[in-house]
Amino acid sequence: MKPVNLMMISAAMMLASCNTQDTGNAKPIGKSNIKIEGKRMTPEALWAMGRIGGLSVSPDEKQIAYTVAYYSVEENKSNREVFVMNVDGTDNKQITCTPHGENEVVWIKGGSKLAFLCTESGSSQLWEMNPDGSGRKQLTNYDGDIEGFAFSPDGKKLLFISQVKTVKGTADKYPDLPKATGIIVNDLMYKHWDEWVTTAPHPFVADFDGNGIGNIIDIMKGEPYESPMKPFGGMEQLAWNTASDKVAYTSRKKTGMAYAVSTNSDIYIYDLKTKETVNMTEGMMGYDTNPQYSPDGKAIAWLSMERDVYEADQNRLFVMNLETGGKHFAGKAFESNVDDFCWSNDAQTIYFTGVWHGKTQIYALNISTGSVKQVTEGVHDYASVAPCGDKLIAKRHSMSIADEIYTVGINDGQATQLTFENQHIYDQIEMAGVEERWIKTTDGKQMLTWVVYPPQFDPKKKYPTLLYCQGGPQSAVSQFWSYRWNLQIMAANGYIIVAPNRRGLPGFGLEWNEAISGDYGGQCMQDYFSAIDEMSKEPFVDRDRLGCVGASFGGFSVYWLAGHHDKRFKAFIAHDGIFNLEMQYLETEEMWFANWDMGGAYWEKNNPVAQRTFDNSPHKFVAKWDTPILCIHGKKDYRILASQGMAAFNAAVLRGVPAELLIYPDENHWVLKPQNGILWQRTFFEWLDKWLK
């Protein structure tokens, strides 16, 4: 791959036009004017794309405010700006242009102002401005970062998230050792995702007079628990009731080992008048998250998993009648996970997104009958949904286009694209073709497999082909768009990509989704062989140039397949994969996952499920490794420690197998920094090109 001049890209980004605002010495990061040669997707093109974030519909349902993140490769950082447009997509204007990272924008004060989070004062605080970007004003000066917020419906109170200290540091115990860096640990969950756990997010409520806040209350009363839940929970896990006197919040009220072995979170209701808290989901044993009150105040909906310790259980939509206390599985007619959801303005319908057969669509749940109607069609994924009169406002993406904002007709499902954030880049690129295939598995089932063909695909030619192994392990291979595992850029480099929805993925019924637990080396691996073997029968697939790539569980899959592939593949790439399942059981932080998916501990000799799992650990089959392998890992990955990737690399070298290791001291389970991302792509394709071309 020919490197692109990163300095030129960043200069173009800095010269993008926007409103002039006082930014001090720092410069804003704006929209890129990148020029692409050869109509081919490149890593630089991916990092030049604006990434649409959250959106908010104005109270009069006439305007939409949303944010876009831009990246500077030269400065190795990102920045987020605010845009406002009419609900038909017209008069779209960027209203901020600062280096301060405006985020979480919402309409307040009847739509006359926009509230947002910003770091202009050195910490993340709440600000407001006019819908044209003028009149910026700081509303809070809280002693700590504000990480999310929601105004009460009456506008008189502010609900916000901030961290509270829950673990004493070394300096607290030994004040005379202020520079000591050692961490003393006496229970589990001392690390989570990519951090050493010393704080927990808490929801706070403050009085708001229109200009600032006062009388702040920690509604968890100093408890050592977290709400929202780490590592990814946000304001979607909290909600105001319509009367502005109660707050619903999500929490797993456990710490240490109790937290590490359980997914049992609940929805709690805090009464601002009585100062009392009630557990609304007492006795519901799995994840209960994301409460939303109905617009008429008579009901509350939330997402619920049935079983404790099973983090990939069906995500069900539940509704409680607040007058009677009765609650029921409202979305039972939909046999897959509910993702994002919203109430209709008349409280008679809940619109939600959910995956089925590799595509995430919008559905309408009739509250009174329980019937579910599919609203949208097409080969894409809807990522969010919000009500707006007789339409819905939604974000949508596919394997060929990143998130954009659309309106969707409630009655006819007709979608109209409102934003064209990266059209200037798509206009310069020839996209690959995406095909849906159904392939017969070794046990006689039909498996949806996405096949992506290189631009200007010629069926008379032979192409190197990659088997894409999905992570999760129970994350759908739907019409996803990724800025790292991007199938379009793989195709642009001359590869056919085969992406099967193997056993253990949602969108094909509960039995299919659950078939992977306790059987990592079983049918899911045979499904991978079915997909690549069937595609290898095509005359345009070069059987002598097959590669296999994947991350997380996909990385485990690569390590496992490396010891079982019977010389099918000529190159492997594993990112953040599990190499040694016995070590993974003890190294990972979320023990509920290991206990459920592995079936138990490796020392449980009378546990046949656990023994089957650990007998299939990839490290036990290294003697059969004979194919070049690239191992990639982040040292801040506390879900799957970097020692897994380093051990796999060391094993390959000791076996005399060509190998390479790309290690990131400053990245977690993902690769988030621009220059690291481009290094990832260049290393990825240099390795494949070396062995497959």
DSSP 3-state percent helix, strand, coil across the chain (nearest 5): 20, 35, 50
Strands 51-57 and 63-72: antiparallel
Alpha helices in 631-673 (DSSP H): 642-654
Report the alpha-carbon distance of residue 545 to residue 547 in Å, rounded. Answer: 7
CB 93 within 8 A of CB 84: yes
Active-site residue, selected from the candidate residues 58, 530, 552, 557:
552
Give the residue from 565, 559, 592 showing the smallest Cα distance to 659.
Answer: 559
- Please give the Cα distance from 471 to 553 (Å, whole number): 4
73, 44 contact by CB (below 8 A): yes
| DSSP SS3 for 233 | coil
Q: How far apart are CA 628 and CA 659, in angstroms?
A: 6
Length of the chain: 693
CB 56 within 8 A of CB 105: yes
Picking from 513, 493, 494, the residue whose alpha carbon sits closest to that of residue 503 is 513
Distance CA 8, CA 587 (A): 43
CA distance 634 to 659: 17
Q: Which of 380, 397, 619, 669 is catalytic?
A: 669
Alpha helices in 443-573 (DSSP H): 487-492, 510-514, 523-535, 553-562
Structure tokens at 149: 């917020």
Kindly report the number of other CB atoms within 10 A of residue 401's CB atom.
Answer: 19
Q: Are 475 and 505 in contact (CB under 8 A)?
A: yes
Specify whether 143 is catalytic.
no
**What are the distances in angstroms from CA 515 to CA 245, 473, 504, 508, 597?**
45, 11, 5, 11, 10
Instruction: Please say if 637 is a catalytic residue.
Output: yes
How many angstroms separate the CA atoms of 362 and 283, rounded? Answer: 30
Taken in order 37, 42, 44, 50, the sign of the CA dihedral is positive
> Could you tell me the strand order of the sheet in which 63-72 lies?
51-57, 63-72, 77-86, 93-94
Please choose, from the candidates 81, 60, 62, the residue with its C-alpha nearest in 3D space to the C-alpha of residue 72: 81
Query: 462, 544, 448: which is closest to 496 by C-alpha?
Result: 462
154 assigned to active site: no
- Give me the long-range contacts of 364-369 (CB less than 8 A, separation at least 24): 364/410, 365/317, 365/330, 365/331, 365/333, 365/334, 367/299, 367/319, 367/330
User: How far apart are alpha carbons 464 and 454 in whole angstroms?
Assistant: 10
Bridge partners of 293?
300
Q: Which of the residues are catalytic?
A: 552, 637, 669
